[in-house]
Amino acid sequence: MALKATICKADLSVADIDRGYYADHALTIARHPSETDERMMVRVLAFALYADPQLAFGRGLSTEDEADLWQRDLTGAIERWIDVGLPDERDIRKACGRAPDVQVLAYGGRAVELWWASVQERVAKQARLTVRDIPADASQALARLAQRSMRLQCTIQDGHIWMADDQTSVPIELRALQVREADR
């Protein structure tokens, strides 16, 4: 018998001063049985960073050729593709062929450095790609915020990010590994 996804709920308040975006989002997150708290919370962080009424979670780890999050326009065309973790170089190239804006939020400490060293040369020419690294201490602190029902606030100002619940605030400093041409 296959294990079912765990459903988590998050009331997320986003105050993105850099973009002038302020909104509350009621998120339903299907957590795959093999997904860690850390990965789930990095997906929530990704939602907060790129929050938009059209942004939605993909179907998850068990579905290939689908983003962890994506934003579609009213015609159904993909505007933004977001992956978390350490995606395969071929998957990155495919995503760049399908969306004008591809974001990768890599996490995992030393594993990110090894992954990036192995794919950097092959994805460097992808003009639509941005890759950012979340420090291990920040992604692990995010994991400690994970619960079945969460009330979270995310504040983004001058490139600095704070994710908080009622008791804990997690500062996050992303490190840009590659920035898409349109944002340079």
User: What domains, with CATH codes, occur in the chain?
Assistant: 6-183 (3.10.640.10)
Helix/strand/coil for 126: coil
User: At a CB cut-off of 8 Å and minimum separation 6, what does 51 contact?
Assistant: 12, 14, 16, 21, 23, 25
Q: Give the strand order in the sheet containing 169-172.
A: 21-31, 6-16, 149-157, 160-164, 169-172
Instruction: Find where tokens 């593709």 sit.
Output: 81
Two tokens, residue 106: 């890599």
Instruction: Find where tokens 């619940």 sit.
Output: 165
Two tokens, residue 140: 């692990």
Reply yes or no on whether the pLDDT at 183 is more than 60: yes
Residues of the chain with pLDDT > 70: what percent? 97
Q: Which of 29-33, 52-56, 63-67, 130-134 has the lowest mean pLDDT?
A: 63-67
Two tokens, residue 126: 């992808």
The answer, as to whether pTM is greater than 0.85, is: yes
Confidence of residue 65 (pLDDT cuts 50, 70, 90): confident
